[in-house]
């Protein structure tokens, strides 16, 4: 564990240097992310000029759902950014270099250093989150459960990223798989109860945004049951196990074609 932490810090430092090698790009990236964050608040304000509640959620509650989405999304990108570069490593055969190292085969592709630019934007998100939830009467138990469910959401997110990595190994043609996941994930900016029919089922059972975003946010409002919490933790466990199994399968199919 200590060895992995040391390597992870080293990879993160390299990632930091890479991020600031193109300073103009780095600054624009951070500005862009903050603009998107601010604009979404503006849009929510415009929406709530037209309606008092959305699918039973008040304006403040919708803000909390959006902020929960932002936190899960940002931390996932911060931790799993290397996944976005993985296809290139498979196509060029550079993935061989990861496989011959005395490390877990998943370590470098999944956690190959944090994205520092996402770490920078995380701070303002947290400040806004604290500001908005400060006015709400939230029980300490709800806060503890919220943090646990946030971690749980990150485990599910890790599972998805592992599935995408596996797809990258098996079919090197998939450029858009991670982006599709991100687009579906964006549907979590609003409570999943606004969706109906097949879409709602997909967001509950296939990409469980309900468990990743809506449930943690509802916990803060004091709206939860023991069954929901157990289902949330069971889902992340199943997701991780299935994704790890898929990764093992993908590794068996890896042909090291370009090396």
Partner 1 sequence: MNKILIIAQNTAQETAAYRLNFVLWRARSVIRYLLSYFLWTAILSGVAGAVGGYSRAQMLTYLTFGYIVMTFVLATRTQDLGGEINEGKLSNALLRPQSFFQYLIGREIGDKVVNLVFSVAEVGLLLFILHPPVLFQSNPEVLLLTLLAVIGSTIMYFLLSLLMSLIAFWTNDIWAVRFLFFMCLEFMSGSLIPIDLFPGIWRSIVLSTPFPYVMFFPAKIYLGGMSVSDLRQGFMVLSIWIIGLSLLAYVAWRRGLKSYGADGR
Binding site for partner 1 (CB under 8 A): 22, 24-25, 28-29, 31-33, 35-36, 39-40, 42-43, 46-47, 49-55, 171, 173-177, 179-180, 183-184, 186-187, 189-190, 194-196, 198-199
Q: How far apart are CA 110 and CA 158, in angstroms?
A: 8
Q: Which residues contact 27 (CB under 8 A, 6 or more apart)?
A: none
Task: Report the Cα–Cα distance between both ends of the chain, in Å, rounded.
Answer: 30
Looking at beta carbons only, is 19 or 236 nearer to partner 1? 19
CB of 63 to partner 1, least distance (A): 15
CB of 139 to partner 1, least distance (A): 28
Looking at beta carbons only, is 9 or 179 nearer to partner 1? 179
Could you write out the DSSP letters of every residue in 146-174? HHHHHHHHHHHHHHHHHHHHHHHHH-TT-
Looking at beta carbons only, is 35 or 143 nearer to partner 1? 35
Looking at beta carbons only, is 31 or 103 nearer to partner 1? 31
Per-residue b/e over 131-151, b at no fewer than 16 CB within 10 Å? eebeeeebeeebeebbeebbe
CB of 191 to partner 1, least distance (A): 9
CB of 177 to partner 1, least distance (A): 7
CB of 88 to partner 1, least distance (A): 14
- C-beta pairs of 27-33 under 8 Å, 24+ apart in sequence: 29/117, 30/117, 30/120, 30/121, 33/117, 33/118, 33/121
- What the block records as the tokens of 15 is 């990632």
Looking at beta carbons only, is 105 or 118 nearer to partner 1? 118
């Amino acid at each position: 564990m200590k060895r992995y932490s040391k390597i992870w810090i080293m990879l993160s430092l390299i990632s930091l240097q890479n991020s600031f090698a193109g300073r103009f790009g780095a600054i624009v990236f951070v500005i862009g992310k903050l603009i998107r964050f601010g604009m979404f608040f503006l849009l929510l304000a415009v929406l709530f000029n037209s309606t008092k509640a959305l699918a039973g959620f008040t304006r403040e509650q919708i803000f909390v759902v959006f902020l929960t989405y932002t936190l899960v999304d940002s931390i996932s990108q911060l931790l799993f950014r290397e996944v976005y570069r993985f296809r290139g490593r498979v196509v060029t055969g550079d993935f061989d270099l990861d496989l011959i190292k005395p490390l877990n085969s998943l370590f470098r592709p999944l956690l190959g250093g944090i994205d520092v630019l996402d770490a920078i934007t995380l701070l303002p998100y947290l400040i806004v989150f604290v500001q908005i939830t400060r006015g709400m009467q939230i029980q300490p138990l709800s806060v503890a459960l919220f943090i646990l469910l946030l971690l749980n959401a990150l485990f599910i997110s890790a599972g998805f990223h592992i599935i995408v990595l596996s797809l990258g190994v098996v079919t090197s043609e998939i450029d858009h798989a991670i982006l599709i996941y991100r687009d579906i994930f964006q549907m979590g900016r609003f409570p999943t109860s606004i969706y109906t029919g097949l879409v709602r089922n997909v967001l509950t059972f296939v990409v469980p945004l309900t468990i990743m975003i809506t449930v943690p946010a509802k916990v803060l409002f004091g709206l939860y049951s023991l069954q929901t919490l157990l289902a949330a933790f069971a889902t992340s466990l199943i997701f991780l196990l299935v994704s790890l199994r898929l990764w093992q399968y993908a590794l068996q199919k890896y042909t090291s074609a370009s090396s």
